[in-house]
């Protein structure tokens, strides 16, 4: 029988609580792998505890609920560090640089687990859906696009985000060829024109 404890809505007090640092990190790493492989619905705190080599009670001690653990584990999925700096440069290659920045971010094993966890869970977890909405709006893309001085910022952010989610799903979840095995820079060149128009072109 699937373990049901800790699968309700997360209280506001989430995040790390006192306890051994090594156990905390082991739980997070195991959670990323489990969520990335099975999604939110197919993952249990008991399974994560087994993978991490800890007692289930320790997960509840650190994160309170399954939702709290999911939020802590997959938060990096779309949080591309220093995105404005990574895409800064010749405006004509802006689309290519944006695609390349996200592909570099997603290529990190830890982040890739986070990403797959979100994408596999978006239909079963409100937190996963929130992560995608965050990408499409003010959390990630809109502030960056606003700095470009273009009109229709929210519309552009939603369209760019939709393309990124589609790319990530095909490449990392469905693993469809040739997209799955494209070199990141090659993918950026091939897709750059599409993103270029959505970022700064006429809509």
pLDDT in tens, 59-112: 999 999 999 999 999 988 998 888 999 999 999 999 999 999 999 999 999 999
CB 73 within 8 A of CB 32: yes
Q: What is each CA distance from 39 to 83, 92, 138, in whole angstroms? A: 27, 38, 25
Mean pLDDT computed over every residue of the chain: 89
State the virtual CA torsion across 126, 127, 131, 134 in degrees, nearest 10.
Answer: 70
Better-predicted residue by pLDDT, 181 or 3: 181
Q: What is each CA distance from 186 to 96, 141, 192, in whole angstroms? A: 9, 23, 10
* Cis bond upstream, residue 54 (ω within 30): no
pLDDT for the residue numbered 20: 52
- Quote the DSSP letter at residue 173: I
Terminal CA-to-CA distance of the chain, rounded, Å? Answer: 52
Confidence of residue 57 (pLDDT cuts 50, 70, 90): very high
pLDDT for the residue numbered 75: 87
pLDDT for the residue numbered 9: 44
**Are domains 21-74 and 83-200 of this chain identical in fold?**
no
Confidence of residue 43 (pLDDT cuts 50, 70, 90): very high
pLDDT for the residue numbered 76: 84
CB 45 within 8 A of CB 69: yes
Has domain 83-200 been given CATH number 2.170.150.70?
Answer: no
Out of 126-140, 173-187, 188-202, least confident range: 126-140
Q: What is the mean pLDDT of residues 162-179?
A: 96
Residue 153 tokens read as 């910022």
Residue 52 tokens read as 């991490």
| CATH code linked to domain 21-74 | 1.10.10.60
C-alpha 92: how far from chain center: 27
The domains of the chain are located at 21-74, 83-200
CB 72 within 8 A of CB 160: no
**Sign of the C-alpha dihedral computed for residues 47, 40, 10 and 111 taken in this order:** positive
Better-predicted residue by pLDDT, 56 or 12: 56
């Amino acid at each position: 029988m699937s373990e049901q404890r800790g699968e309700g809505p997360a209280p506001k007090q989430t995040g790390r609580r006192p306890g051994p640092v090594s156990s905390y990190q082991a739980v997070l790493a195991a959670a990323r792998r489990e969520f990335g492989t099975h999604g939110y619905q197919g993952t249990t705190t008991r399974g994560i505890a087994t993978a991490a080599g800890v007692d289930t009670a320790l997960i509840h001690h650190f994160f309170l609920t399954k939702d709290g653990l999911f939020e802590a584990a997959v938060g990096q999925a779309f949080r591309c560090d220093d995105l404005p700096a990574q895409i800064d440069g010749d405006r004509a290659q802006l689309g290519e640089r944006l695609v390349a920045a996200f592909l570099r971010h997603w290529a990190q094993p830890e982040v890739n687990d986070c990403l797959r966890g979100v994408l596999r869970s978006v239909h079963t977890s409100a937190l996963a859906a929130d992560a995608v909405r965050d990408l499409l709006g003010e959390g990630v893309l809109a502030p960056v696009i606003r700095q470009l001085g273009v009109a229709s910022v929210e519309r552009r952010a939603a369209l760019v985000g939709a393309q990124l989610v589609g790319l990530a799903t095909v490449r990392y979840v469905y693993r469809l060829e040739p997209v799955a095995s494209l070199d990141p820079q090659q993918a950026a060149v091939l897709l750059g024109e599409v993103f270029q128009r959505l970022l700064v072109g006429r809509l």
